[in-house]
Amino acid sequence: MEKFIEALGVNVIFDPTTPLSASEPPVPAVDTRTVELKKGYVHVEGALALTCDITFEQDVAIPLRDGTILYGDIFRPSNQKNVPIILAYTPYCKRGGWWNLNFNATKFGVPQSTLSGLQSFEAPDPAIWCDAGYAVAVVDAAGTSNSGGDEVFMGTASGRNVYDVIEWLGERDWSNGKVGMAGNSQLGMIQWATAALQPPHLAAIAPWEGLNDSYRDVVMRGGILDTKFHDRDIAAFIFGRNNREALTKMAQRYPLYNAYWEDKRPDLKAITVPAYVVASFTSAIHPRGTLEAFRGMASEHKWLRVHNNQEWLDLADAGSTADLRKFFDRYLKNIDNDWDETPKVRLSILDPGGEDQVNRPETSWPLERQEWRKLYLDAQSFGLSDAPLTPSSVAEYAGDDLTQCVRFSKVFEEETEITGYLNLHLWVEAADADDMDLFAALYKESAVGKRLHHITLIGPQARGFVKSLEQDGKLPGTLSYTGPLGRLRVSQRAIDPERSTPSEPLITHKSEERLIPGECVPIELSLWPTSMVVHAGERLVVEIAGHPVGPHAHGTLPGAILDLPTRNHGRHRIRTGERYDSHLLFPVIPSQQAKK
């Protein structure tokens, strides 16, 4: 089925949603009622007992402007008026179902006793927030679970649906008229699109790890089609009664950036509400877009915190919740607390194989005190050099061989912090084809050549599980992190000169310029932002291949599938030296001693 979207000028493909009957356990049937949950109530054995009486309005019907009915669960402290509302808008089922059973944070190291069991996947815990004087509304997205309509994936149409939900919630007679949004991943992503539409009752947002560009961050990263994560890990387990937008089929129909993809990237300059943004460098899909959204939004009052754990764990952490409460108290309750004194930016400086720095206060992102450094690739020695090289040389590998790559490395003589945006400027050629897909990774090795990992899970048992998955000295990505990645289809190498910098080239992806076999061209292959320390004696490595490199991601996340449908055929060459100034550009943060 296709729908013509006049505002975009394109037909959008819709497929039947995975039926409700396929969910195991089942999505609960609609059962609209109000239940009083008393203080001391325990929802799941061993879980956190309620510390206040909660009125639970189950399967509340919420109308949209077109008459579509969505269903939501509302938890609010009993017998209280003028209560602010925290909204989680979810495609994953607000209660019961597959996601809530299989991806509860307690399965990943969060103690059961710290959560009530009333929380939905990637959403805040109603028991904790009701005790703090908030209502929590968890609403099934249009076209998912029992909600009506068709599922639309992000973009203006999805933001408009949430706009209507916010306005309906803000007019409840027990509400103080202020609605905030919270949640992780898709529950964070939708906040950008919603806030850009400026619903009057929306007073604050708290997107936790939310990418903002579906083209550049997931299905067409670097211009290379990558469908399996969205199709196999996400869409296959979103259950509903009607149809869903076929995002990856649209990527196959429109592999170049157009109005359809532009609509999936919210107008960040239109976001003016206070925002508490949470990111990490270790996620396989969210870092670039989350940090871009923080920088691009027009909010006068905005804060960024970059953590060092897996995102579900950070969301469930008691310290994170207490921090978020201070933010919401300030902007949803108008409490004159000390939140405004919170540093605008707090970073985690990763040290794979060592000890991280967490919550380091900063005044900006990226850091104003960064100093730019170049390391030149040397295809003769496969080293990285501080100075331009002579003579020229060439490194070659089979672009369509999943076992081949080239590595360039340098042993550092002093401790160095790399924090910010990185870019590989490369001179490349395809000897036997008219296009080439390139993949790159940056990571460090110990003095004895062992790849160094940061493990994102917490607790001895969970960390032990991750270590047990080691293969050929590598742990799986997402469960671990070694450094930033990047990829590029070379025919789409054109950049927007007005919106690009040497460290952050913006690839337009609007057209193709095929190669002449044997023609050498310069390209900009950006690596995602990072923050990591390289110690004296450790080796920094740049790895390049015609397939995903670095630790292979867990499951089907981008970076997990080696045999992507690339355009690679035959030999790839990287030229270095003399006029071929292939180099890594990266930001170094001076140490405190150096500053003194």
Q: Are residues 312 and 395 in the same domain?
A: no
Helices 155-170/186-196 angle, 10° precision: 80
Indicate the DSSP class of residue 29: P
Q: Is residue 362 part of a domain?
A: no
This prediction has a pTM of 0.96
Tell me if 358 is assigned to some domain.
no
- Tell me the mean pLDDT in the region 34-39: 98
Average pLDDT over residues 413-441: 98
Which letter does DSSP use for residue 338 in this model? S
Is the pLDDT confidence value at 242 over 80? Answer: yes
Same domain, 60 and 151: yes
The alpha carbon of 264 is separated from its chain's Cα centroid by a whole number of angstroms, namely 14
Q: Report yes or no: 579 and 388 within 8 Å, Cβ to Cβ.
A: no
Q: Which among 323, 342, 361 is the end of a domain?
A: 342
For 444-462, what is each residue's pLDDT tens digit? 999 999 999 999 988 888 8
DSSP string, 49-93: PPSS-EEEEEEEEEE-TTS-EEEEEEEEETT--SEEEEEEEESS-
pLDDT at 592: 62
Nearest Cα neighbor of 208 from 320, 119, 108 is: 320
Distance CA 165, CA 195 (A): 13
- The answer to whether residues 275 and 204 touch, using CB atoms and an 8 Å cutoff, is yes
Average pLDDT, the chain: 95
Which domain does 561 fall in, by range? 371-595
Tens of pLDDT along 80-113?
999 999 999 999 999 999 999 999 888 888 999 9
Dist. CA 363–CA 368, nearest whole Å:
8
Is the model's pLDDT at 555 over the cut of 80?
A: no
Assess if residue 590 is contained within a domain.
yes
Same domain, 324 and 383: no
Does 524 have pLDDT greater than 50? Answer: yes
Residue 458 lies in a domain: yes
Average pLDDT over residues 34-52: 96
Check: CB of residue 106 under 8 Å from CB of residue 100.
no
State how far the Cα of 281 lies from the Cα of 306, in Å rounded to an integer.
Answer: 7
pLDDT of residue 596: 41
Is 40 in the same domain as 186? yes
Nearest alpha carbon to residue 436 among 393, 379, 396, 382: 396
Q: What is the pLDDT of residues 166-180, one digit of tens each?
A: 999 999 999 999 999
On whether the CB atoms of residues 497 and 579 are closer than 8 A, the answer is no
Task: List, for residues 360-370, the tens digit of each pLDDT value.
Answer: 999 999 999 99
Model confidence pLDDT, tens digit, residues 264-297: 999 999 999 999 999 999 999 999 999 999 999 9
Asked if residue 530 belongs to a domain, the reply is yes
Give the span between the Cα atoms of 165 and 176, in whole angstroms.
16
Provide the residue count of the chain: 596
Closest Cα to residue 156, out of 222, 245, 233, 289?
245
pLDDT (tens digit per residue) in 109-143? 899 999 999 999 999 999 999 999 999 999 999 99
Domain match, 165 and 303 both: yes
Residue 594 has pLDDT above 60, yes or no: no
Residue 357 lies in a domain: no
Instruction: State the CATH number of the domain containing residue 467.
Output: 2.60.120.260
Residues 331 and 403 in one domain: no
Q: Is the dihedral of CA 178, 86, 36, 172 positive or negative?
A: positive
Residues 257 and 121 in one domain: yes
Task: Specify the CATH number for the domain of residue 24.
Answer: 3.40.50.1820
Over range 328-342, report the average pLDDT.
97
180-199 pLDDT tens trace = 999 999 999 999 999 999 99
Domain membership flag for residue 278: yes
In order of 224, 514, 569, 572, the CA distances from 518 in angstroms are 22, 12, 13, 9
> Which token pair is 396?
């070659």
462 and 552 in a common domain: yes
Residue 465 CA to residue 303 CA, distance in Å, equals: 34
Q: Say whether both 381 and 338 belong to one domain.
A: no
Rounded to whole angstroms, the Cα distance separating 139 from 122 reads 13
- 449, with CB counted inside 10 A (0-12, 13-18, 19+), is exposed
User: Is the peptide bond preceding residue 391 cis, with omega within 30 degrees of 0?
Assistant: yes
CA dihedral 320, 159, 302, 500 (to 10 degrees): 120
Residue 507 in this model has a pLDDT that exceeds 70: yes
> β-strand 345-349 against 302-307: which pairing, if any?
parallel
In a domain? residue 359 = no
Return phi, psi of residue 595, to 5°.
-65, -40
Question: Which of the four pLDDT bands, split at 50, 70 and 90, describes residue 477?
Answer: confident
* Buried-exposed string 550-574: b where 16+ CB fall within 10 A, e elsewhere: bbbbbebbbbbbeebebbbbebbbb
User: Which residues 6+ apart lie within 8 Å of 553 measured at CB?
Assistant: 284, 476, 477, 478, 559, 560
Query: Domain check: are 115 and 155 in the same one?
Result: yes
Residues 337 and 439 in one domain: no
Q: Does one domain contain both 380 and 329?
A: no
The total number of structural domains in the chain stands at: 2
Whole-number Å distance between alpha carbons of 52 and 40: 8
